[in-house]
Amino acid sequence: MANQAALYNAKGDKVRDIDLPEAIFGIVPNVHEMHRHLVRQLANWRAGTHSTLTRSEVSGGGKKPWRQKGTGRARQGSSRSPLWRHGGVIFGPKPRSYETQLPRKIRRLALRSALASRKDSMVAIENWAIETPRTKSVVSLLDKMGAKGKVVLLVREHDDNLELSARNLPAVKVILSHNLNVKDLLEADKIVATQEALDHIAEVFAQ
């Protein structure tokens, strides 16, 4: 049975069903590679700006707290020892990059798998045809298409009117087809893609 998606026009009326590329939407999703891609994506988003002060960086502690011998207490060389309150931190986090890499074939397999796993949640639209930015027009159109919950709008190129209309909707996210990622695909309850975006996805990932 061919993989198909409903195609809607700019008014939200269903036109027909279109076939989705078998090379992408007909595969068995590789869950392991999707997980690897998701872990990489989340890791690469980390700022890595966490930082703690070592004993050489905290203020104070220049003078030896007490003499070496004769006090009955343990010897101490600084009041900023990691063993003391307000002292430095042992092996604490320092700024670093969490960025990791995956081979190109693995990344594409993960994206194809994510698309294949969400084929039942995908619908297509001929074009948005939004002449002026208006959130109500996007909400009305999504309601007609049955797009509820978290919705991802896949487009080929930037559309200022669409992006301005959708930015006030916290559950709606506009993504360019060349910025496709596993996280947004898996989190979405509905994926609405333009025909141009689907053609671009087929061109890139069907190979």
Residues 6+ apart with CB under 8 A from 119: 3, 5, 20, 25
pLDDT tens column, 108-118: 999 999 999 99
pLDDT tens column, 144-184: 998 889 999 999 999 899 999 999 999 999 999 999 999 99
Model pTM? Answer: 0.82
- How confident is the model at residue 1, as a pLDDT? 47
- How confident is the model at residue 207, as a pLDDT? 66
> In sequence order, which ranges of 30-155 are alpha helices (DSSP H)?
31-45, 104-117, 135-144
54-66: b or e for each residue (b if 16 or more CB lie within 10 Å)?
A: ebeebeebeeeee
DSSP H or E run through 204: helix 195-205
Question: Does domain 7-28+115-205 sit in CATH 3.40.1370.10?
Answer: yes
Q: Are 87 and 58 contacting, i.e. CB atoms less than 8 angstroms apart?
A: yes
CA angle 178, 179, 185 (to 5 degrees): 115
Q: Which band of pLDDT confidence, cut at 50, 70 and 90, is reported for residue 90? A: very high
